[in-house]
Amino acid sequence: MSKRDLKPIVVEGRNCWRIERADKARMIVDAADYFALLERLMADAKQRILLIGWDFDPRIALKPGKDGQGEPLGDYLLRLAHEKPDRDIDILRWNFGGLKQFAMPRIVSMVMRWKLTRSISFRLDSAHPVGCSHHQKVAVFDDHLAVCGGIDVGARRWDTRDHKDGDPRRTAPDGKAYMPWHDSTMILAGPVGNALAELGNERWQRATKKPLRDLKGEGENWPDDLKPDFEGVDVAISRTRSEYDGYEEIREIEQLYLDMIAAADRFIYFENQYFTSGKIAAAIAERLSEDDPPEFVMVMPKTADGWLEQMAMDAARVQLVREIAKAKHGDRLKVYYPQTGKGEAIYVHAKTAIVDDRMIRVGSANMNNRSMGLDSECDVTIDTALPANMGAEPKIARLRTSLIAEHLDVPEEKVAATFKRTGSLIDTIEALRGKGRSLELLDLVPPGPMDEFIAENELLDPTSPDAMFESLTERGLRKSWHRGRDWMRRHRPFRRRST
């Protein structure tokens, strides 16, 4: 079977909401580049700037100076409002995190100053069940140009692709240094931007009970000096949404993960913050029980960020990876974490996946239960099996090569040549990783009794809003594992392998 005979992985109504054309699209890696671009996009917007996210901190500098200081984002937005008062600046962030910020005088003062303008509208999103969060990270400009991915416009996110040790620009608003941070997002222009604007408008109306005003249709222009990775491609938009207030549950993202795993021929390269979904883990284990399975490479944080997250997420990850290792070809799963030249772990917040260099996916969804069924999420995917996207495989391969080269701190040409010689992602990484800044294999230290209990019973990572209130006998990693294994066994015909 040739590559042109491959069936698309993305299917409207199954694992994505809509498939829309992107006139141009580009992956943005790490927040230094994204924040600098965001400053320009906001300045160039004619009618509306719409920012939707899990986090939003007006104290941060989009372009910090050598001392980590710079014009605060909140002041920059005020300046934009004064320069063009008829342009709307609408900001929607998750309510729980936002309420915590109201204990910070600088933020309260800034929000009050915003309220004195008629341009800036700042709202909190509580339109979700108890225990869930609004986790999408979407920015839309004039309902035409959009950004969708994993980067929050918040504190402790800014970093360059160099991830330099002791970079003074990595300074939080409280004056404290923070860890190196790796992230990704995607900018898209054209009809897919209109679709993401529709998604953002719907989310705004759910949260505020008021619609955004209609625009005249004067689209935001793609920056002249920003070279796109893709032109004229079809992009799938996938969502997670829990059932709430008359809106039905959506689990497109979970289905897309399962379909990706089922369809992979040679490899899947993941960058993700968490790996705690028993259903996804079991699907990987089923593939690794085959005679000639694909490889699975995960680049993740060494540990989760925060004590509670470490208790819940790290322990579950260890248990799932150890279970996958029991499969017939369990050694075809490798989990790495990146580190700096002096050995400090780089925190991986990106949510990126690349399948066989035929598909790239960037979004907000982690590989945990919350992203499958609790929190609101949005991912975008370019699948080269769609007719409009044929021939884009080398561009996806270049992006994958660039990511691996960043983590290994070696030239992209060396990564590409090694992969061409070995035909294996794992062999490529193992041949090139070394001392200093590189990728390290995750040490699968067995969790302690408390960590294991929390992880095994999914106490902080339930599979649905209702599961938070189920008894311990009705929930847990093992039940999620069995659901994933059963799904993969039922859907083996979905796979279409190339020759």
Domain residue ranges of the chain, discontinuous segments joined by +: 23-230, 238-491
253 touches 394 (CB < 8 A): no
Q: How confident is the model at residue 477 (pLDDT cuts 50, 70, 90)?
A: low
Higher pLDDT, 158 or 493: 158
Strands 120-125 and 88-94: what pairing?
parallel
279 touches 462 (CB < 8 A): no
Per-residue confidence (pLDDT) for residue 462, from 0 to 100 = 60
For the cut 70, the answer to whether the pLDDT of residue 473 exceeds it is no
Average pLDDT over residues 223-249: 95
Average pLDDT over residues 335-362: 98
For the cut 80, the answer to whether the pLDDT of residue 490 exceeds it is no
- DSSP annotation string for 53-108: ES-B-TTSBSS--TTS---BHHHHHHHHHHH-TTSEEEEEEEHHHHHHHTTSHHHH
The region of weakest confidence among 159-168, 311-320, 417-426 is 311-320
Beta carbons within 10 angstroms of residue 302's beta carbon: 18
Percent composition of the chain: helix, strand, coil (DSSP 3-state, to 5): 35, 25, 40
Query: C-alpha distances in angstroms, 36 versus 40, 153, 158, 182?
Result: 7, 11, 10, 16
Q: Which two tokens stand for residue 111?
A: 């929000």
Average pLDDT over residues 208-213: 93
Per-residue confidence (pLDDT) for residue 474, from 0 to 100 = 55
Higher pLDDT, 218 or 172: 172
- Cα separation, 447 vs 187, in Å, equals 39
Higher pLDDT, 455 or 364: 364
Per-residue confidence (pLDDT) for residue 127, from 0 to 100 = 87
For the cut 90, the answer to whether the pLDDT of residue 105 exceeds it is no
Q: How confident is the model at residue 493 (pLDDT cuts 50, 70, 90)?
A: very low
The region of weakest confidence among 210-219, 316-325, 355-364 is 210-219
Average pLDDT over residues 190-203: 95
Average pLDDT over residues 49-56: 95
For the cut 80, the answer to whether the pLDDT of residue 483 exceeds it is no
- Cα separation, 341 vs 293, in Å, equals 34
**pTM, rounded to two decimals:** 0.91
Cβ contacts of 209 within 8 Å, gap of 6 or more: none
Per-residue confidence (pLDDT) for residue 315, from 0 to 100 = 83
Per-residue confidence (pLDDT) for residue 492, from 0 to 100 = 60
- DSSP annotation string for 404-439: HHHHHTS-HHHHHHHHHHH--HHHHHHHH--SSSEE
Question: Residues of the chain with pLDDT > 90: what percent?
Answer: 73
**CATH class as words, domain 238-491:** alpha beta
* 23-230 and 238-491 share one fold: yes
In CATH, what number does 23-230 get?
3.30.870.10
**Predicted confidence (pLDDT) per residue in 381-440, tens digit:** 999 999 999 999 999 999 999 999 999 999 999 999 999 999 999 999 999 999 999 999
Per-residue confidence (pLDDT) for residue 476, from 0 to 100 = 61
For the cut 70, the answer to whether the pLDDT of residue 316 exceeds it is yes
- Cα separation, 320 vs 456, in Å, equals 10
